[in-house]
């Protein structure tokens, strides 16, 4: 098995799943290089935010490299590798909300709320997909997982994150609202993959039969992880421009 995973397996022209793994890997690797190079060009107060953006896409790129090889070797969805990736990158995406509101008074307790909610969402989602994915009861774990998701949505739209962002100036408020839309709309693509890949589907009804969960997940990952970083980068540039005008 180990030897087969290391062997170079050609991607067929009609193998759209493997193609999205490859494109996702390259896109997130390119984004990582960009963010890492921009760290030195970033004001000190935003450097950790840009660094975290680079770490998110770099971790994802490494996992996508192995997930593509795993899929080509086994023709099975790399569920374990994907959730390991998410357990590292999704909490880091939540960390971004804390970092951009830290200057406005965000406390470490808010950071832990976001991290715990994201880990709860992912662990319960993994149980439903990896352990009970072939059973009709998998929708129960999908429902439980959504509790963590909606708690994060509440925090960033109406809770502490939203309130702090609105007090941190127009640039941070705008960035938080854009990131909040990514979570509300962009992250909503993951339940579609879950519904497509588990027997439980949507409350027991397999309404998305025939849709590849890996294609859904791959597209969602590329949009959300790169998009998060670009929003942070835009915030940095907006703040830099504002400071330049103020000095002038």
Q: What's the domain count of the chain?
A: 1
Residues with Cβ within 8 Å of 183's Cβ and at least 6 positions away in sequence, in order, are 152, 153, 156
Note the pLDDT of residue 1.
Answer: 46
β-bridge mates for residue 202, sequence order: 205
> Which runs of E-coded beta strand occur in 129-230?
none
| Residue 45 CB neighbours (<10 A) | 12
β-bridge mates for residue 205, sequence order: 202
Q: What's the token pair of residue 229?
A: 């970083």
Note the pLDDT of residue 233.
Answer: 97
Note the pLDDT of residue 201.
Answer: 57
Q: Residue 155 maps to which CATH number?
A: 1.20.1070.10
Note the pLDDT of residue 36.
Answer: 97
Note the pLDDT of residue 192.
Answer: 76
Question: Consecutive sets of 10 residues in the chain, 248 residues long: mean pLDDT of each?
Answer: 52 80 96 97 94 98 95 91 96 97 93 97 91 78 92 97 94 95 90 72 50 83 95 94 67
Range of the domain at 204: 2-247
Residue with tokens 């995973």, as numbered in its chain:
5
């Amino acid at each position: 098995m180990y030897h087969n995973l290391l062997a170079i397996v050609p991607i067929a022209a009609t193998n759209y799943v493997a193609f999205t793994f490859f494109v996702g890997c390259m896109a997130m690797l390119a984004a990582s290089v960009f963010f890492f190079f921009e760290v030195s060009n970033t004001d000190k107060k935003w450097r950790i935010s840009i660094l975290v953006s680079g770490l998110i896409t770099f971790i994802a790129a490494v996992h996508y490299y192995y997930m593509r090889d795993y899929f080509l070797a086994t023709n099975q969805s790399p569920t374990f590798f994907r959730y390991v990736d998410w357990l590292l990158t999704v909490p880091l995406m939540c960390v971004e909300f804390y970092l951009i509101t830290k200057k406005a008074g965000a406390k470490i307790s808010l950071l832990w709320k976001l991290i715990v909610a994201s880990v709860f969402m992912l662990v319960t989602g993994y149980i439903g997909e990896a352990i009970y994915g072939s059973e009709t009861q998998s929708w129960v774990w999908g429902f439980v997982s959504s509790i963590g998701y909606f708690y994060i949505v509440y925090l960033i739209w109406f809770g502490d994150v939203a309130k702090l962002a609105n007090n941190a100036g127009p640039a941070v408020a705008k960035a938080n609202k854009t990131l909040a839309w990514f979570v509300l709309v962009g992250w909503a693509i993951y339940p579609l993959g879950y519904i497509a890949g588990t027997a439980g589907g949507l409350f027991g009804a397999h309404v998305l039969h025939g849709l590849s969960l890996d294609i859904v997940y791959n597209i969602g990952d590329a949009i959300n992880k790169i998009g998060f970083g670009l929003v942070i980068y835009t915030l940095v540039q907006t703040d830099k421009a504002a400071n330049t005008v103020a000095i002038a």
